[in-house]
Amino acid sequence: MADHYVERVVDLTEPQANQLFGLTSEVAREIILNSPACEVNKISGSFALVARCGKTVKMARSLDRPMRYFLAKRQEGPVLIVAHRIDAIYNWLKGEQLDGQFHPSYTRMVPAHHVVELQLIGCPDPDPIYTRFFAPQSNSLPSNPDQIGGAYISALAEEISLWLSHVPAAEPIGVCFSGGIDSGGVFLTTYHVMRKLGMNLSRLKAFVLDLGRGPDVEQARMFLEAVGLGLFLEPIDADPSTLDAAETIRIMEDYKPLDIQSATMALALCRGIRERYPDWRYLLDGDGGDENLKDYPIEENPELTIRSVVNNQMLYQEGWGVGKIKHSLTYSGGLSRSYTRTYAPAHHYGFSGFSPFTRPNVIAVTGYDVARLYELKGEVVSRGVEAVTGMRMPIFPKRRFQHGALPENEMHRQLPAQEPEYRKQFLSLYL
């Protein structure tokens, strides 16, 4: 009977979608299963992996790839279902006539940067064990924007170079672009790396979403013309009437208003690219840059202070942290939760997305406890870009993705900030 328990581990995570550099999925699973947790941080790339031996199941994922699980009961013993999406778990349970046990809040998200260990021993099920595998060192750099920026963009360039080396040589490369600090840093660094490696620069485009009268198109044009790269800009037009929060909730499987708004714009951009280029596959973006350099207005969240931001390791990447009262078992926290705003739209339209800002080697550079970093993001990134690429990067005021493709007041008419209503729409998918 115990052996049968272990046999009922169903992996729906699309293992072929893992992007591992320098090792196979089998070796990576062996590391997760049998090595100290800190060794998992040596797995390079984007991954969501399940490893098991006997009654023990271990799971781990990178920040940019969601990974959920659900433990169902059968007369023969428990069955663990692991997937990227909640609806994939639900559909599998329906096929096995086990959906009567399901509620979306019973699913669990594997938190980024942790190994989750489960023991499949039947009822009652023991709590999972969480072991951190990525713990960046504080005070690793002096509070000097030039040194921080140089190290940060150098790490960014290394990750982009590694990723590009695994993209087929004939494939075009798109950057989701607004002319802001993060997408600007990614585009200029990608351009620099491709040129340095002798790659064909005609493969590269900067896609900007245009819903009409939004400020991003003009900002993107000014940015690229300032560095002599205006020819790479390609606006993607879309009709504001096509924005559909209900569709976004279904695809993203979440209900936080800011993330729903952002994901709705990402869907419009990805849909427009896909309609124009049916075979396009590879996209880069700058998601995670705000989190790395703590560039969110804390006055919009009454729970936060500068002290809480600076003193809580990886607050923006992981929320308040595993084992804390406010950590959601269903969704995780921070970017570990909200990255679905980027992952789900790209995945839905068949793109292989990549944000170098989510890689541990890039995150680790920012140090986490430099209070001035909150105000110096543009200075840090622009100095780093100039040091690495030689290009002087223009800096524009911060603006959220959803406020750039359409005037903000119009965006709010299309996508109001109503979390209870969004939550109700999400639950209606299963009730």
| φ, ψ dihedrals at 119, nearest 5° | -110, 115
Strands 56-61 and 114-119: antiparallel
| Domain identity same for 353 and 375 | yes
Domain's final residue, options 77, 97, 132 = 132
| Domain identity same for 231 and 120 | no
Of residues 93, 55, 51, the one with CA closest to residue 74: 93
d(C-alpha 419, C-alpha 431), whole Å? 18
**Domain carrying residue 350:** 145-428
pLDDT for the residue 190:
98
Q: How many domains does the chain have?
A: 2
Residue bearing tokens 């976004």: 248
The string of pLDDT tens digits covering residues 295-352 is 666 656 667 666 666 667 788 888 888 988 889 999 999 999 999 999 999 999 999 9
Residue 190: give its domain's CATH number: 3.40.50.620
- Does 137 reside within a domain? no
What contacts 295, CB < 8 A, 6 or more positions away?
181, 289, 374, 377, 398
Please give the DSSP secondary-structure letter assigned to residue 332. Answer: B
pLDDT for the residue 398:
77
| φ, ψ dihedrals at 10, nearest 5° | -110, 115
Residue bearing tokens 């005609």: 202
| Domain identity same for 227 and 374 | yes
| Domain identity same for 149 and 30 | no
- Does 283 reside within a domain? yes
What parts of the chain have a pLDDT lower than 50?
Answer: 1-6, 368-374
Is residue 80 within 8 A of residue 55, CB to CB? The reply is no
Dihedral over Cα of 318, 320, 324, 330: its sign: negative
Is residue 63 within 8 A of residue 337, CB to CB? The reply is no
d(C-alpha 253, C-alpha 67), whole Å? 13
pLDDT for the residue 375:
53
Residue 59: give its domain's CATH number: 3.60.20.10
pLDDT for the residue 310:
66
d(C-alpha 168, C-alpha 180), whole Å? 28
d(C-alpha 155, C-alpha 428), whole Å? 43
d(C-alpha 75, C-alpha 122), whole Å? 10
Q: How far is CA 282 from CA 161, 166, 349, in A?
A: 14, 11, 11
| φ, ψ dihedrals at 303, nearest 5° | -80, -20
Question: How many residues in total does the chain contain?
Answer: 431
| Domain identity same for 374 and 414 | yes
| Domain identity same for 41 and 182 | no
| Domain identity same for 120 and 169 | no
Dihedral over Cα of 332, 335, 336, 338: its sign: positive
Long-range Cβ contacts of 370-374 (<8 Å, 24+ apart): 370/143, 370/148, 370/310, 371/306, 371/310, 372/143, 373/148, 373/293, 373/294, 374/293, 374/294, 374/295, 374/306, 374/309, 374/310
d(C-alpha 252, C-alpha 353), whole Å? 15
pLDDT for the residue 6:
43
| Domain identity same for 377 and 325 | yes
Q: What's the distance, CA 77 to chain centroid?
A: 35
Q: How far is CA 209 from CA 50, 164, 177, in A?
A: 37, 24, 8
| Domain identity same for 174 and 41 | no
| Domain identity same for 23 and 113 | yes
d(C-alpha 61, C-alpha 63), whole Å? 7
| Domain identity same for 96 and 149 | no
d(C-alpha 98, C-alpha 73), whole Å? 8
| φ, ψ dihedrals at 22, nearest 5° | 90, 0
d(C-alpha 292, C-alpha 320), whole Å? 15
| Domain identity same for 176 and 88 | no
pLDDT for the residue 338:
94
